[in-house]
Amino acid sequence: MNGGTGRVEIARSRRQLMLVACSGAIGTFASLALPMALGRAIDGNGLALAVGLIAVSIASDLFDSFATTAYAANAAARLRHALIRQILSVSPHRLLGFPTGDLVSRVSGQASEAAQADFSRISLALGVLPPVGSLIVLSIMDWRLGVAFLAGVGGVTLVLRSFSRRAEQASAGYQVAQSGIAARLTEAMTGARTIAAAGTYEAERERVLRPLEELRAQGMRMWQVLARSTAQGAVVGPLVLVVVMAAGGLLLASHDLTPGDLFAAGRYAVIGAGLGALTGVLGGLARARSATSRINAVLQVPPLSYGTLSLPDGPGRLEFDGVSVDGVLRGVTFAVPGGSSAAVVGRSGSGKSVLAFLAARLRDPDGGTVLLDGVPLPSVSEGELRRAVGCAFEKPVLLGGTVSDAIGLGREHVGATRAATAVHAHDFVVRLPHGYDTPLADAPMSGGEAQRLGLARAWDASRLLVLDDATSSLDMVTEMRIGEALLAASRTRLIITHRITTAERADLVVWLDGGTVRAVGSHAALWDEPAYRAVFQ
């Protein structure tokens, strides 16, 4: 059904685009024909035609000014929805090449730019018409007018060549002074508590503002450069018009042109000189095209697909069967009996986090199978899988309007207070300004606090909890208490950890080394191996 409405929408937007293109074309031709019609009207015949052309070009302008904005707004919204849906449905590791800020800029700014692509193409095509058409019309009226026009344009280009370089130098000095202030400000803001306690606000502000004088001096230099170039522009501005009018005037004197023709020639000279504006359109088109290809780069990533199966009744037995991930894991095979806990240990870079992602099905292996209660994870339906498996991270990102939302995330089966209490987050949540209803933005949290909310969010998983270093920022006492709560919960736990105490408490230790399972056993049994002890050094 979704695809159906999508197609209807696209068909409708095609129609809108065609309308905009037609109206634009009509308007452009009308404005190109207008000087000629005005000339006729001046010479005493065809006032109606001129008025008609003016009316047509106004109507086309009116339609365009509304339709282009509305169309672009809708097109941008469609792109944004698609991007967000895509980002939320691919394996996170596939987007590692796109930093968050970069993805957000694709969703916000670049979607707008890409939505302009269609118009940029239309306005480029239509934008060439008036200047080129003007030159042609001038030449048809009399070839000498065309020559005069080209000579005028040549002169202007020569004069305007010389500025841009000096302007660049001046603005570089300005930016240096500006970043100087920005750097000092950033530095002072990191020392906010020291400054507040020491009462040195005024002194700090003045210290930050020390480069301001230099900024002013550089700023004035920029204006001087601009003043010079503007003066040059003022000299050459009317050049083309004067040259064409002079040529036309001579033709008028020899009765080769009528006064109306002369007026039209002057008008065409001005329209023709607008050729420079096209570079702007070209730049816009280039931006739109690059934005489109950047958006497509995200949309083309294959999404994580889900199956349709339900899980059979079971205790949550987790099984890795010959699992490999290119360059990270090789032939990983082990099983965690339902209801028991397994600690995954290993030096950094041994593939622990990838293992956690596989167990939580945030990615699929390149070879082998991960099974939960005997069913390969990719065959399980999304709803069933996510209810059964929960995952908590070392650095959780909390989503939602309030603290309570951040735990519940719109899932009916999750009770925020219950989950928070279980992971000992309740105590600090109720100390926030509005308790569970505190907006996340107003609840700056330490690493340990965020970790506990991240844990609360995953707590209600029915069969398997995957903890990827998820308690690393907690103090010992809290971690111990959560450890006890974990023991009491009758779910399978896969715990990635650096901590020796966590490994000690687990029923089973999976020891990863260089992407393979070095050994599986109890902590006590493995402790005799020096290489195992070295993992915790």
Partner 1 sequence: MTPIAFGVLHLRRGAVLRFLLWSLPEALPAAMLGVAVARSVDHFLAGRSLVGLAWLAAIIPVSLCSAVGARQVLRGLGEMVEPMRDELVRRVVGSSLARALDGQADDGAVARLTRQVEIVRDSFAGLLMVTRDFVVGVVGVLLGLLALSPWVMLFVGPPFLLGVAGFVASLGLSARRQRAAVLAEERLAATASTVVAGARDAIACGASGHAAAMVAGPIEDQAAAERALSWTAVVRTLCFAVGGWLPLIALLMAVPWLTGRGLTPGEVLGGLTYVLFGLQPAMRKLMGGLGGAGLRYTVTLGRLLEQRVTPPAAVKGAGTRLEARHVTFAYGPHSEPVFRDLSLAVGEGAHLAVIGPSGIGKSTLAMVLCGLRHPSSGEVVVADRVLIPQEAYVFSATVRENLAYLRPGADDALLNAAAAAVGAGTLVEELGGLDAVVEPGRLSAGQRQLIALARAYLSSAPIVILDEATCHLDPATEAVAEQAFARRPGGLIVIAHRLSSALRAKRILVLDGAGAQLGDHAGLLERSALYRELISSLAHEPPGSPRSGSASPSWSGSVTGGSGPSPD
Within residues 46-65, the interface with partner 1 by CB under 8 A covers: 47, 50-51, 54, 58, 61-62, 65
Using H for helix, E for strand and C for coil, what is the string for 174-198? HHHHHHHHHHHHHHHHHCHHHHHHH
Nearer to partner 1, 330 or 381 (CB): 381
> To the nearest whole angstrom, how small is the minimum distance from the Cβ of residue 257 to partner 1?
9
194 near partner 1 (CB under 8 A): yes
487 near partner 1 (CB under 8 A): no
Nearer to partner 1, 105 or 330 (CB): 105
230 near partner 1 (CB under 8 A): yes
Alpha-carbon gap, residue 500 to 329, rounded angstroms? 23
Are residues 90 and 301 in contact, defined by beta-carbon separation less than 8 angstroms? yes
484 near partner 1 (CB under 8 A): no
Nearer to partner 1, 80 or 121 (CB): 80
What letter would DSSP give residue 52? Answer: H
- Residues of span 325-354 touching partner 1 by CB under 8 A: none
* 70-105: burial string, b at 16+ Cβ within 10 Å, e else: ebbeebbebbbebbeebbeebbeeebeebeeeebee
514 near partner 1 (CB under 8 A): no
CB under 8 A: which stretch of 156-164, 187-195, 308-316, 507-515 binds partner 1? 187-195
Residues 6+ away with beta carbon under 8 Å from 423: 452, 455, 456, 459, 482, 485
> To the nearest whole angstrom, how small is the minimum distance from the Cβ of residue 450 to partner 1?
8
- Residues of span 419-478 touching partner 1 by CB under 8 A: 427-428, 430-435, 438, 441, 443-451, 454, 457-458, 472-478
- Residues of span 81-110 touching partner 1 by CB under 8 A: 81, 84-85, 87-89, 92, 95, 100-101, 103-104, 107-108
Chosen residue from 25, 167, 299, 304 binding partner 1 by CB under 8 A: 304
Question: What one-letter code names the amino acid at 354?
Answer: V
396 near partner 1 (CB under 8 A): yes
Q: Is 105 helix (H, G, I), strand (E, B) or coil?
A: helix
Nearer to partner 1, 18 or 409 (CB): 409
- List Cα–Cα distances, 73 to 66, 79, 81, 111, 353, in angstroms: 11, 10, 12, 10, 41
Alpha-carbon gap, residue 334 to 329, rounded angstroms? 13
In the block, which residue shows the tokens 């792109």? 79
> To the nearest whole angstrom, how small is the minimum distance from the Cβ of residue 62 to partner 1?
5
398 near partner 1 (CB under 8 A): yes
125 near partner 1 (CB under 8 A): no
Q: Is 445 helix (H, G, I), strand (E, B) or coil?
A: coil
Size, binding site for partner 1 by CB under 8 A: 156
> Which two tokens mark 351?
């593939």
403 near partner 1 (CB under 8 A): no
Q: How many helices (H) and strands (E) does the chain have?
A: 23, 10
Chosen residue from 30, 36, 76, 423 binding partner 1 by CB under 8 A: 76
Chosen residue from 16, 139, 200, 369 binding partner 1 by CB under 8 A: 200
Site string for partner 1, 13-42 (x = CB under 8 A): -------------------------x--xx
Greatest alpha-carbon span in the chain = 112
> To the nearest whole angstrom, how small is the minimum distance from the Cβ of residue 111 to partner 1?
9
Nearer to partner 1, 65 or 333 (CB): 65
Distance of CA 446 to the CA centre of its chain: 27
Alpha-carbon gap, residue 512 to 524, rounded angstroms? 17
- Residues of span 151-170 touching partner 1 by CB under 8 A: none
Alpha-carbon gap, residue 265 to 272, rounded angstroms? 10
- Residues of span 369-388 touching partner 1 by CB under 8 A: 382-383, 385-387
Chosen residue from 10, 159, 176, 235 binding partner 1 by CB under 8 A: 235
- Residues of span 237-296 touching partner 1 by CB under 8 A: 237-239, 241-242, 245-246, 249-250, 252-253, 259, 262-263, 266-267, 270
Alpha-carbon gap, residue 516 to 518, rounded angstroms? 6
CB under 8 A: which stretch of 68-76, 143-151, 157-165, 368-376 binds partner 1? 68-76
Nearer to partner 1, 7 or 85 (CB): 85
Alpha-carbon gap, residue 226 to 229, rounded angstroms? 5
Alpha-carbon gap, residue 369 to 425, rounded angstroms? 35
